Amino acid sequence: MSINYDEQRSFYRMSVDCQVEFSESGSSEKFSGEGKNLSADGVSFITEQPLTEGQELNIIVHPVIKTVTPLSAKATVVRVAEDKESKKYIVGMSLKEVS
């Protein structure tokens, strides 16, 4: 019996179309990205900013609906893949502290 990769996830991922703002821990310089998906323990987004696995970031996911509170969290970069066509990076992060 084969198990689909998505079925092995601990939490369901939902596609999102929103802005993601991020900065390195301890830095006031902010960068932005375009949200791809979100789950209870992670977030994925596309950005022009090169990041490295293991990097600790403060992130804010800004929902499109303004009455919904933005998600703020400390997160760790777990995956970075460069899209050669767009010259952007697809970043996967693990959420550590959500506030």
State pLDDT tens for residues 13-45.
667 889 999 999 889 999 999 999 988 889 999
Domains located in the chain, CATH noted: 12-98 (2.40.10.220)
Cα angle, residue 12 at apex, residues 95 and 81 outer, rounded to 5°? 60
Amino acid at 2: S
Quote the pLDDT of residue 8: 53
Cα 13 to Cα 10: distance, rounded to the nearest angstrom: 10
77 or 64, higher pLDDT = 77
pTM of the model: 0.82
Indicate if the pLDDT at residue 1 is higher than 50: no
